[in-house]
């Protein structure tokens, strides 16, 4: 396996191995506190794996219960947005789209709506003026419903994290490239990187590897994605910690003349992806990722201000500090206990996780 070839001793990557042990203890405590029933995590530095693990029960109600493993498949929720953003950036560098173009260029049906002049960049950075959430399936046509949604602010003047904007970006990609979002992600990201357990529709034979949520097993948790058939620009992705490690490798600068995995983006596009696009005092956001300064960025107290990340409602986290060349992945099934907790415990845990990993670094 690729990951096994990339494992190095924590000391070689600059970590104190004893202090890294606090990470596993912290995550196991989350099970005891009923924040989730299962977790999987991985920490990378310089493109190598310093530590990884999994714990708890992925399917506690199964007979017998199914233990969580590194290949357990989690509903990634809004980590899906980073896939949509990567596909968008691939179109930008191919000269197929540009970020300042208005929505009406690709979706002409938006021309007579307030959204017609909203740019792709505003959709990608949550500054379009759209509300955070609406049930887009009320009318049976998600696109029509969003286009009829009144804006709550002048585009470019307010940050409001919005699923609706990324649903629209999913439609833009499908219209521009003439394929469904799942097919585009498979052809352009999952297959090139060997992300064999990532996709939008878990196969029947993989159900025994899924982490349970409050939704029926194999049914995406997000209601809008579920109403749209299971795949949308904002949610629907299922993935593993091992596959997300491949994803981070595909996004980082390649090493040597022959990279281990094909780079997903060119150097200039990667630089764009890592750069905050929102002027102060708006929340920081790159094309696809929370950035400093953002209240949504769970970087803790020690990671650098160059850190970018995304989280998912189901209890997931993908975070990169390019200054430290550090990648953090944490997957949980927080929404298994959706009725018992409000998610604040996992919000806190993400920051503690970041602090514990960064605090274990002894060599920068």
pLDDT at 258: 66
* CATH number assigned to the domain with residue range 2-77+183-359, chosen from the 4 options 3.40.710.10, 3.30.420.10, 3.40.50.10860, 3.40.50.300: 3.40.710.10
CA–CA distances in Å: residue 245 to residues 24, 41, 260, 318? 18, 10, 12, 9
pLDDT at 257: 61
DSSP per residue, 48-104: EEEEEEEEEEEETTSSSPEEP-TT-BEEEETTHHHHHHHHHHHHHHTTS--TTSBGG
Mean pLDDT by 10 residues, the chain (364 residues): 87 96 95 98 97 98 97 98 99 98 98 97 98 86 95 97 98 98 98 97 87 94 95 98 98 78 96 95 96 96 98 98 98 92 92 98 94
- Domain locations in the chain? 2-77+183-359, 86-177
pLDDT at 149: 96
Q: Are 298 and 40 in contact (CB under 8 A)?
A: no
Domain 2-77+183-359 identical in fold to domain 86-177:
no
In this prediction the pTM is: 0.97
pLDDT at 41: 99
The whole-angstrom distance between residue 6's C-alpha and the CA centroid of its chain comes to 22
Say which CATH topology domain 86-177 has.
Methane Monooxygenase Hydroxylase; Chain G, domain 1 (1.20.58)
């Amino acid at each position: 396996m690729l990951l096994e070839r990339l494992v190095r001793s924590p000391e070689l990557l600059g970590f104190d191995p004893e202090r890294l042990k606090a990470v596993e203890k912290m995550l196991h405590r989350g099970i005891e506190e009923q924040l989730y029933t299962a977790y999987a995590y991985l920490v990378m530095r310089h493109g190598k794996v310093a530590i990884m693990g999994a714990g708890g029960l992925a399917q506690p109600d199964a007979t017998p219960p199914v233990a969580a493993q590194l290949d357990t498949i989690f509903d990634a929720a809004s980590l899906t947005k980073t896939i949509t953003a990567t596909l968008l950036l691939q179109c930008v560098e191919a000269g197929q789209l540009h970020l300042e173009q208005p929505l009406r260029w690709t979706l002409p049906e938006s021309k007579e709506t307030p959204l017609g002049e909203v740019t792709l960049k505003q959709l990608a950075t949550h500054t379009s003026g759209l509300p955070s959430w609406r049930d887009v399936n009320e009318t049976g046509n998600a696109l029509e419903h969003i286009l009829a949604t009144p804006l709550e602010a002048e585009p470019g003047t307010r940050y409001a994290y919005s699923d609706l904007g990324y649903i629209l970006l999913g439609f833009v990609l499908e219209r521009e490239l003439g394929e469904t979002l799942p097919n585009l992600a498979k052809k352009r990201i999952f297959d090139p990187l060997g992300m064999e357990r990532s996709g939008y529709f878990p196969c029947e034979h993989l159900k025994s590897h899924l982490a349970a949520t409050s939704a029926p097993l194999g049914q995406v948790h997000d209601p809008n994605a579920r109403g749209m058939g299971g795949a949308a620009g904002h949610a629907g992705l299922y993935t593993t910690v091992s596959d997300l490690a491949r994803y981070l490798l595909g996004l980082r600068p390649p090493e040597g003349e022959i990279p281990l995995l094909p780079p997903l983006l060119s150097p200039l596009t990667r630089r764009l992806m890592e750069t905050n696009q929102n002027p102060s005092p708006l929340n920081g956001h790159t094309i696809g990722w929370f950035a400093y300064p953002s209240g949504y960025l769970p970087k803790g107290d020690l990671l650098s201000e160059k850190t970018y990340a995304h989280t998912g409602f189901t209890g997931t986290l993908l975070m990169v500090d390019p200054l430290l060349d550090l990648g953090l992945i944490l997957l949980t099934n927080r929404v298994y206990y959706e009725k018992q907790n409000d998610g604040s415990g996992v919000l806190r845990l993400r920051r503690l996780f970041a602090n514990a990993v960064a605090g274990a670094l002894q060599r920068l």
